[in-house]
Amino acid sequence: MNISNGSVYLMVGDLYFGDDVDEIKTLLGSCVAITLWHPRLKHGGMSHIILPEADPSSTDDPNDTRYAGGAVHAFMKKITGFGMKPSQYQVGLYGGGRMFATGDAKTMMDVGMRNVRMTRSLLEQHGFKVDQEDAGGEFYRHVHLNLHTGDVNVRATPVSKTMG
C-alpha cells in the first residue's frame, strides 16, 4: 500500500478502511475490489482481492485479505468496531476482467468471474447489498473512491489495447 498526497494506492491483497485520506485507488485485471462508504460518517474502504479463496492445501491464512473471505471478514471487523451494520454502507464491486484468453470460451481461464461470484456471495451472506457493479469482460479497471463524497470513478481499458 502506498500513501501520498492524501491518496492511498492499493496493491494486490491490500485493504484500507478509514477517513484520514481523500481517495483510495487501485488498478484491477482479474482481481476484484470491494468499496464501502458510509454516507453519514464519511468513512469507507477498499480492498484488492486476488483470488476467491486460499488453496486448501496451502498454509495461507484463509483470513488473508488477498482472498475474498479474508477481505469481507476484515471489513466486518472494521465496521462493527464503529458500531455499524453492513446495510448502512454503500457497496461497490469492481474488476474480475478476463485477462488470460487461452482459446475458446470453454477453455478460458476465468479467474476474474470466479472472483466476482465468490465476493458477491460473501458480501450478500454478511448483509451487504451491492449498489454499484462494473465487472467482467476483457478490461483492466482503474478504480477511485472519493472518501468525502462516496463517488466511485471507474475507468475501463480494453485488454486488447494493452497487449502488443
The predicted-structure confidence for 110-147, as pLDDT tens digits, reads as follows 889 999 999 999 999 999 999 999 999 999 999 999 99
Helix, strand or coil for residue 24? strand
Q: How far apart are CA 108 and CA 11, in angstroms?
A: 25
Domain spans of the chain, in order of start: 2-158
Label residue 107 by pLDDT band (50, 70, 90). very low
With pLDDT > 90 as the criterion, what percentage of the chain qualifies? 77
Contact 157, 45 (CB under 8 A): no
* Residue 104 confidence (pLDDT): 52
Q: Please say if the pLDDT value at position 102 is more than 60.
A: no
Task: Tell me the CATH class for 2-158.
Answer: alpha beta
Four-residue CA torsion sign, 74, 80, 84, 86: positive
pTM over 0.75: yes
Q: How far apart are CA 99 and CA 27, in angstroms?
A: 13
What would the grid cell of residue 113 be? 468471474
